[in-house]
A and B are shown apart, each in its own frame.
Chain A
Amino acid sequence: MRVVIAEDLFLLRDGLTRMLQAHGLEITAAVDNGADLLKAVVADRPDAAIVDVRLPPTFTDEGIRAALAARREVPGLPVLVLSQYVEQLYARELLASGTGGIGYLLKDRVFESAQFVDAVRRVASGGTAMDPEVIARLLARNTGDTHLDALSPREREVLALMAEGRSNAAIAARLVITERAVAKHTASIFLKLDLQPSDDDNRRVLAVLAYLGG
Chain B
Amino acid sequence: MAGEGPDGRRTRGRPPASGPSGPRPTRDVPSGWAETLDWAGGRLKVAGRGLVLGGLALTGLAVLLAVLAVLGVSVLLAVKAFSPYEELRKHLLGAGLLFVLWVAMGPVFLLCFRPVARLTRRLSARWCGVPIAAPYLPKPWADGGKGGLRRRLAWLLTDQATWRDLLWVTVDGFVGWVLAILPAGVMVLGVVGVVAPYATMSLRLFSVAVAAAGVWASPWLLRGYGAFARSMLAPTQQAELVLRVRQLAQTRSDALDTGAAEIRRIERDLHDGAQARLVAMGMTLDAAGQIIDTNPEAARALLYEARDASVKALAELRNLVRGIHPPILADRGLGEAIKALAMDSPMRIHLASDLYGRASAPVESAAYFAVSELLANVSKHAEARETWVDIRHTDGMLRIGVTDNGHGGADPARGSGLRGIERRLAAFDGILAVSSPPGGPTAVTMEIPCELSLPKTSFS
Contact = CB atoms under 8 A, between A and B. Distances in A.
Interface of A: 34, 57-58, 60-62, 65-66, 68-69, 84-85, 87-90, 92, 106-108, 111, 137, 140-144
A61 B315 CA distance: 20
Contact of B346 (A89, A90, A141): A141
Contacts of B331: 60-61
B339 A89 contact: yes
Given A89-B339, A89-B343, A137-B344, 5 more contacts: A65-B459, A69-B459, A84-B314, A89-B340, A140-B346
A143 B346 contact: yes
B344 A84 contact: no
Interface of B: 307, 310-311, 314-315, 318, 321-322, 327-328, 330-332, 336, 339-340, 343-346, 456, 458-459
Contacts of A141: 343-346
Contact of A66 (B307, B345, B459): B459
A57 B327 contact: no
Most chain A Cβ neighbours within 10 Å, of B330, B336, B343 = B343
B319 to A, nearest CB: 9
Given A141-B343, A141-B344, A111 B328 contact: no
Nearest to B330: A60
Given A58-B456, A108-B315, A88 B332 contact: no
Interface of chain B: mostly helix, strand, loop or mixed: helix
A94 to B, nearest CB: 14
Contact of A85 (B307, B327, B336, B346): B327
Contact of A140 (B315, B340, B344): B344
A151 to B, nearest CB: 16
Contacts of B307: 111
A144 B383 CA distance: 13
B332 A61 contact: yes
A58 B332 CA distance: 11
Given A60-B330, A143-B346, A84 B318 contact: yes
The list of the 9 closest CB pairs from A to B, nearest first, reads A65-B459, A60-B331, A61-B331, A89-B340, A88-B343, A143-B346, A108-B311, A108-B314, A87-B328
Q: Which residue of B327, B456, B459 has the most chain A CB atoms within 10 A of its CB atom? A: B459
11 contacts: A34-B458, A60-B332, A65-B458, A66-B459, A69-B459, A84-B314, A85-B322, A89-B332, A111-B310, A111-B311, A141-B346
